[in-house]
Amino acid sequence: MYITFDDYVGLYWTDRITPEAFTRIAIEAQRIMDMYTTGIDSVKKLQVAFPTDECDAKTVKACACKIADLLFQMQTAEDNAMASRKYTQTANGLQGGVITSMSSGNESVSYGSSNSNTAVDKAASDPVEREKLLRDTVKQYLSGITDANGVNLLYMGRYPVRIDHV
């Protein structure tokens, strides 16, 4: 993983997430960062040549923390949306839902919904928005950052430096 729980706690609140939940989202954050920093030849730049420049290394860690926090917020938004609709996870799947109105004549049923429109809420409910938010975050943090061999992390072409162990 590119970050530790202590890295995350240094930038975000300590009471928001458990160390166990952090491990899961940190692994997912690494996978997302690898997806955007791996070129056409499948060289995972962050894994083979993590930045040695202190400032660049801190920026990569800050990016991983931000992605982890976004993932945590999206999961929380999904959980809250389910809870607000009175959905509960059971052994048989999701159960329930708040009916806000019901009529008998033409059998119309309306369910309650959330009206939140933050970027995280949109990303939690729409895979396209999720992809956009995560991609934009990686670009914001890693644009202009190079790996230990001086290769731009967002460069998607063939890795220009020979790596014997790939």
pLDDT at position 105, please? 59
Name the strand (E) or helix (H) holding 16.
none
Q: Is residue 155 part of a domain?
A: no
Q: Write phi, then psi, for 44 (nearest 5 degrees).
A: -85, 95
Name the strand (E) or helix (H) holding 83.
helix 54-84
Name the strand (E) or helix (H) holding 30.
helix 19-37
Query: CA torsion, points 25, 61, 2, 42, in degrees to nearest 10?
Result: 100
Q: Is residue 148 part of a domain?
A: no
Q: Is residue 138 part of a domain?
A: yes
Q: Is residue 116 part of a domain?
A: yes
Total domain count, the chain: 1
- Residue 102 confidence (pLDDT) above 60: no
pLDDT at position 106, please? 58
Q: Is residue 162 part of a domain?
A: no
Q: Is residue 152 part of a domain?
A: no
How many Cα neighbours within 13 Å face the side chain of 139? Answer: 7
Tens of pLDDT, residue by residue over 22-77, are 999 999 999 999 999 999 999 999 999 999 999 999 999 999 999 999 999 888 88
Nearest-CA neighbor of 156 among 34, 39, 32? 39
For 133-140, what is the mean pLDDT? 96
The larger pLDDT score, comparing residue 19 to residue 114, is at 19
Considering the chain, what is the average pLDDT of its residues? 83
pLDDT at position 35, please? 97
- Residue 4 confidence (pLDDT) above 50: yes
Give 53's DSSP letter.
S
pLDDT at position 114, please? 47
Domain that holds residue 39: 5-142
